[in-house]
Structure 1
Amino acid sequence: MDINNITTFITVATLLVISPGPNGFLIAKTVPLSGQKAGVANICGFVVAFYVHGTLSIFGISILLVQSAQAFFVFKMLGAAYLIWIGIKALVSAFKVSGAKLPDLDQRNVKPVSVRNAFLEGFLTNALNPKVSMFYLAAFPQFISVNESVINAYALVTLHSIVNFVWFSTMVFMLSRIKNATNNVRFKRWLNSITGVVFIGFGSKLALMKNG
């Protein structure tokens, strides 16, 4: 594996990571409501999911998603349902905040997510996303030669994970620095509303995505 190959992969992985998607919106929802640790837990969930997709790609198991229309459909619908579920939860939280009197609003109206649940949200958001799987099926193999060792293949997954961790950790740090502003009740109501609509949109788009 030469330096040009590695540089190109990092460029492709960076563009994938920084492009708008469910990960960024999940972080933007989690940190203001549940804090920095929960945001980092989201990121750890992303990373673990990358290794799952990477492992499936390296050992050729996930090719079933491309070859089997039924397997792809089931996997796609699970991912779509999960994203829509997150969106509905966010909208419900927004309506709860809207229905409360601002001076009387307390933590019962907006419950923070535990570190464990934040990790699971991050993991499932990526593990059930066929688009991430397609990246590892379509782009990832282009950077691995026939005789490439498994260690080198996992090194690329690690590079993707590092890019992801750096980008979203920066996002978590920035959001935690403006905690006073993001803790504003009206901001939380607006954030939950936007997050809900965006995730439902992502889920609907994913449900309509065709194999190949």
Structure 2
Amino acid sequence: MDFAQIASFSLVALLLVVSPGPNGVLIAKTVPTSGRAAGFANVAGFLVAFYIHGALSILGLSVILMQSAQAFLLVKIIGALYLIWIGVKALLSAWQGDNTTRSTVPTKPKRSLSKAFVEGFLTNALNPKVSMFYMAAFPQFIPVEEGAMMNALLLVSIHSLMNMIWFASLVILFSRLVATVRSGWFQRVFKGITGAIFIGFGVKLATLKAN
């Protein structure tokens, strides 16, 4: 695999990473309420899920997922329900409100690091679109040769590194805006918006068809 192929994949992957999606929404939801460390835990969950999707694609198990209507439907519905569940929780929290004010600083994160990690992991692990991306990308950018598996691992690593840099930057950005986003009115409005977006992503995933 030459530099041109790596550069082409990197461009496609970069456009996918920076496009709006549930990962960015989750970061924006986590950092203001639970802090920078929880946001980085989200990112760690993203990366583990990407490598699992990549490993499944390299081993060919994702082909089974894409070719089996029942398997694809199961993963798709579970992922959609998970995103909708996150959205409903955010909407309920926005509706109920809280006593948070601008000057309030929580004594401890509302979301543990392990929970933030699991949320980041499940948001990606239950999304078959990640497998679809790898299965579509690998045949186009990886030549059929003896080192194909290592080349596939390299592309997964490039995609994961881009995600880490992009979403870590978002974590830092939101953490610096924390004084504003912790105000009570902002939290209610923001939770309402993010809840609606998560539900929208869930509905979109539920209607996704395997190509």
Scaled by the length of structure 1, the TM-score of the pair is 0.92
User: Structure 1 pair 191/2, CA: closer, same or farther in 2 (3 Å)?
Assistant: same
Segments of 5+ residues of structure 1 without an aligned counterpart are none
1:139-176 per-residue CA deviation (whole Å, 9 max, x = no partner) reads 23321122134222211111101100111111111111
Identity of aligned residues (%): 56
Count of aligned positions: 208
Paired residues of 2:46 and 2:121 also in contact (CA < 8 A) = yes
Q: Is 2:180 the counterpart of 1:181?
A: yes
2:118 maps to a residue whose letter is L
Partner Cα separation in structure 2 for residue 192 and residue 143 of structure 1: 40
- State the 4+ residue runs in structure 1 displaced beyond 6 angstroms: none
Return the match for 2:127 from 126, 129, 137.
129
C-alpha deviation, 1:56, in angstroms: 0.7
Q: Are 1:172 and 2:186 matched, yes or no?
A: no
CA RMSD of aligned residues (A): 2.0
TM superposition score normalised by structure 2: 0.92
Which residue in 2 is equivalent to 1:197? 196
Residue of structure 2 in register with 1:139 after alignment: 137
Q: Cα distance 1:32–1:101, how it changes in 2: closer, same or farther (>3 A)?
A: closer
Question: Any stretches of 5+ residues in structure 2 without a counterpart?
Answer: none
Q: Alpha-carbon deviation of 1:65?
A: 1.8
| CA–CA distance in structure 2, aligned partners of residues 11 and 210 of structure 1 | 25
TM-aligned CA deviation for residue 107 of structure 1: 8.4
Deviation at 1:136, TM superposition (A): 1.0
| In 1, Cα distance between equivalents of 2:151 and 2:208 | 32
In structure 2, the partner of 1:25 is 25
Letter of the 2:15 partner, please give it: L
Q: What pairs with 1:32-181 in structure 2 (closer than 5 Å)?
A: 32-97=32-97, 100=98, 112-147=110-145, 148-181=147-180
**Cα gap change, 1:36/1:107 in structure 2, threshold over 3 Å: closer, same or farther?**
closer
